[in-house]
Structure 1
Amino acid sequence: MEERSSDGRGALFWAWEFGNTRALLTIAALDNDVFDDKERDAQGSSPTSLCKEDADCDYDAVADVVNDPARVEEEKDLIAEVRSKLEEAADKDLDEMDEEEEDDGEEDDEEEEGDSRATNSDVDDILPDDADEL
């Protein structure tokens, strides 16, 4: 939560500025205080003030959603599910890379032993059948 742009705003500021309850729930689910007004942007505004001072942002409605423990728990569960899927995908990618390396190693061994010759299907299509005898 410490990363900021040149105007001194970061994720928490932008979430409040646009009344983005999903972003605020995610920030809260990651154990951050979304109502912390100690931080200020370059103009001296706090995160929540960006919503409070904007007629298009319903601070009370946004705060009600973010203050709902059940909604925060749902977001925590969603984060855990996404992390799990990402880890599974990463493990699968690593397994596939390992298999490719093993396959490459077997092909290299075969080429070194002379058990198979490298072929290029494009060249094979162009050359006559008796080209090996040339």
Structure 2
Amino acid sequence: MLRVAIAFFIIRLGLADESWQDTPILTSLWQATSSKDNDAIDRLLDSSESAASARSGDGRGLAWWAWEFQNEYVLASIIVNGGDVTSEDEDEAGKPAYRMCSDSSDCDKESLLQKAKALVEEVKKAKEQRAAEREKEDFDDEEEEEELGDDEF
């Protein structure tokens, strides 16, 4: 009951962001982050420009989960996709994403961040390669469609 009252109070004050909502892509991002499924992370981030910055109903998103599950690959992916993994933006509870690590006794924030930054170039190159492959596939598909369109029936 207290949680409902707090949520209502936050909404009344206008502190909650109306764009925060639970979506299938966020569920998939949470699952991929928690299980360290880097291929799924790549597919999801490639499929949506807003996936890296999307926020669930509680105001958390990919950065929160990356810190929570100590997933340096996801932190690097957020950086490559233009995100700030040390942002002071807060979730519904008033906690920035990096605090998910600080609140854990077995998480070394600085070490995790260094590992993530060391992966950035590798993640960036892989993203560029996937984009080039998709572009080539799209071009090949267009050529095939043009060839089929030349036939007279």
Work out whether the TM-score is over 0.5: yes
> Could you tell me how far apart the structure 1 residues matched to 2:71 and 2:125 are?
19
In the TM superposition, 1:52-91 aligns within 5 A as 52-68=102-118, 71-91=119-139
Query: Paired residue for 1:126?
Result: none
> Could you tell me how far apart the structure 2 residues matched to 1:102 and 1:18 are?
54
> When the two structures are aligned, how many residues end up with a matched partner?
102
Query: Paired residue for 1:16?
Result: 67
Residue 138 of structure 2 aligns with an amino acid whose one-letter code is A
Residue 56 of structure 2 aligns with an amino acid whose one-letter code is S
Query: Paired residue for 1:3?
Result: 54
- Root-mean-square deviation (CA), in Å? 1.9
Gaps of 5+ in 1: 109-134
- Give 1:81 deviation, angstroms: 0.9
> Could you tell me how far apart the structure 2 residues matched to 1:86 and 1:31 are?
21
Residue 124 of structure 2 aligns with an amino acid whose one-letter code is K
- Give 1:24 deviation, angstroms: 0.9
> Could you tell me how far apart the structure 2 residues matched to 1:86 and 1:62 are?
31
* Cα deviation 1:12-31 (Å, max 9, x = unaligned): 22222211111111111233
Residue 53 of structure 1 aligns with an amino acid whose one-letter code is D
Q: Do 1:29 and 1:75's aligned partners in 2 also have CA atoms closer than 8 Å?
A: yes
Query: Paired residue for 1:115?
Result: none
Moved over 6 A (4+): none
Using the aligned pairs only, state the percent identity. 31
